[in-house]
Structure 1
């Protein structure tokens, strides 16, 4: 009788190195690039691990990002419940997706984001002033990694930073892999109610921010409802601080564990710094539960026939370790040309805020290590608590000293 390998649960357990994808993903990349996995609800979507297959999948118009379609492989019960109740363009297909995304493209154009660089630099410097004046050891997550992108996205959207404790609490539930459907819906409802009240205020008293522009240009004209704008604001607010905060902290851990690479980032020119950001995005790929889709019709990807209604998971973390694209992929090399990574996704649904994330990370990585050249972990690496319980990977806290 032939040996039949059991269908493994996804996401999979990581190995000894906290920066590497699960070893089983590496095996599948080489031996079984398209295979079945089992997710929380018992369904068995197809998992794609090769770089070229992941990009093909994420650009194929015959697949859908709509979580309401039968067969869509939702990440968690909480995310499934929330996305069914509250719609945002991340879960829409074109042309609806393109129409909503187009309303925001001007706010995240490279030229506009580059114009924010001096303000981002001031935010970083002020937070580092406070960090250096405070006690040691310090938690770099709470003192620096989380406040930087939170302040930036609050200013961009027009959300009061004074309310950060509230939206940080809601965000933790929304990105938790362990939150129940009820907990996720309650957190989403609470945050949406808050943002809806904010949007309504901005209709009568607008400022120079994204929510004011949407309130006056879309809600006041009847083109969108208050809830639709609030839902868009929720997506930008949560994604705008959770992802970058985790990249700041996790990237710092990775560099502290590779001091030669940290020295190169600290002492290198702007071109090397830009390379370093792309390499860290590739190496860490903090969205580690894959990009989810469902087939709209029968199709073939990576030599595998997929039937209409079957779920699809594009494993971007292991695709970013594909040696056909990135030689010695398990090595962190900040001089590598890695801009073609898929850490931001690929195709029409790739991350809208990637220009902002890039500038924030460039400013942070350069400034942090130059101003605190003796920065070091205050705990051994093996004692850090990594976010295996979250949809966005990182560390829950990062004790550092200098």
Structure 2
């Protein structure tokens, strides 16, 4: 509800993967609206597609100027940090992004397909061996995404269970305090220290080895930037894909006709994944604040220099001006200009890897378990509380 100052509290509450109906109302009536964040005060929220593209790509909106400021409106206890790729503007952002982009190019990602398929087959074999019911979060989604990103970086798989706890803390909105987040961050840094030291002694050709080389030999990376990049890639590479594998499966099984239609036409999987990326609201809200460096008009509203703007890309994915029947999940939809991976300079560097994992996981599930169904009523699925990315704690299925 709006406050006395006309500011709605944001992020908006929703159960499970539901979309709060306030988004549709805002797109119709108030596409650039004032919202009050849990920390740092109020800002502007952008909910329409074209306005979102403007803010995400226009250099007049800066992430860097929000760094380290306690008065930055935000959903997380800690303000944006200076060493983070996510909090930089070009050209500093471009310098760091270039260091990791080659590892996630379409060609290199495609070479990973046999390994991704091998991991998926191994996990599904184990699910079959244990028999129904099975938890797809622990049985497939988490081990797949963890193994892939750990192998790309070259981080030893020991301690993965502890890593999951630390990763969740970094994605916390209300589940952890600022002190807990800081302590988990310190432990993550320590977690990587041994691998970094080993690569200094014995260079490797994995991504972490390349980052160490860029730090020590080429002077293109500070120590803080190297550590932050490694943590970012680990956490983001795990959290997003693992949650979406579970979210997509839950969404399809919640309507058995959707699952059956894909089983009958598996060639639709690539387009269906794009539609699910548009339709399924992974994030609990817009995470990254941007501040205007000069007055800018967005959607008929003047955003003054210094004011903060949030872009809800998943609301943009329901924009009636872009999609026919946007509130419907249409697995045969051919037009998918979604922003699930962002837009502009901060477009997700790991998008191709995420798509590969999603395609292989969903295709394999459909092929091997055409009779898959939820083992409990949808209302009984437990959801992760207080985290930025939404997903089930467990997804019990049977067949």
**Same fold? TM cut 0.5:** yes
- 1:322 is aligned, of 297, 308, 319, to 319
Q: Is the 8 A contact 2:17 2:281 kept in 1?
A: no
Distance 2:263 2:364 in 1: 8
Q: CA deviation at 1:168?
A: 0.9
Q: CA deviation at 1:104?
A: 0.9
Distance 2:217 2:181 in 1: 30
User: Structure 1 stretches of 5 or more lacking a match?
Assistant: none
* Superposition TM-score, scaled by structure 2 size: 0.94
Distance 2:28 2:384 in 1: 27
Q: CA deviation at 1:73?
A: 2.6
Residue equivalent to 1:51: 49
Residues 355-377 of structure 1 show CA distances to partners (whole Å, capped at 9, x for unaligned) of: 00001000000001211112111
The residue correspondences of 1:79-98 to structure 2 (distance < 5 A) are 80=79, 83-84=80-81, 87-98=83-94
In the alignment of these two chains, the number of paired residues is 393
Distance 2:265 2:9 in 1: 42
3-state SS in 2 of match to 1:200: helix
Runs of 4 or more consecutive aligned structure 1 residues displaced over 3 Å after TM superposition? 3-6, 69-72, 220-223
Q: CA deviation at 1:107?
A: 0.6
Distance 1:324 1:386 in 2: 32
Residue equivalent to 1:74: 74
Residues 137-158 of structure 1 show CA distances to partners (whole Å, capped at 9, x for unaligned) of: 2221111111111010011010
Distance 2:371 2:282 in 1: 26
Q: Which moved more, 1:188-197 or 1:65-74?
A: 65-74
Taking a change above 3 Å as real, the CA distance of residues 147 and 338 of structure 1, as seen in their structure-2 partners, is farther
Distance 2:395 2:136 in 1: 5
Q: Is the 8 A contact 1:113 1:356 kept in 2?
A: yes
Q: Is the 8 A contact 1:285 1:316 kept in 2?
A: no
Residue equivalent to 1:10: 10
Distance 2:179 2:44 in 1: 28
3-state SS in 2 of match to 1:352: coil
Q: Is the 8 A contact 2:9 2:37 kept in 1?
A: yes
Residue equivalent to 1:375: 372
Q: CA deviation at 1:353?
A: 0.4
Q: Is the 8 A contact 1:73 1:293 kept in 2?
A: no
Residues 292-317 of structure 1 show CA distances to partners (whole Å, capped at 9, x for unaligned) of: 21111111111100111111110112
Residues 173-228 of structure 1 show CA distances to partners (whole Å, capped at 9, x for unaligned) of: 11121211111111111101221331121122123310012212432444323332
Residue equivalent to 1:285: 281
* Superposition TM-score, scaled by structure 1 size: 0.93
The residue correspondences of 1:320-359 to structure 2 (distance < 5 A) are 320-359=317-356
Q: Is the 8 A contact 2:137 2:242 kept in 1?
A: yes
3-state SS in 1 of match to 2:310: strand
Q: Is the 8 A contact 1:278 1:338 kept in 2?
A: no
Distance 2:101 2:39 in 1: 35
Q: Is the 8 A contact 1:21 1:317 kept in 2?
A: no
Q: Is the 8 A contact 2:40 2:74 kept in 1?
A: no
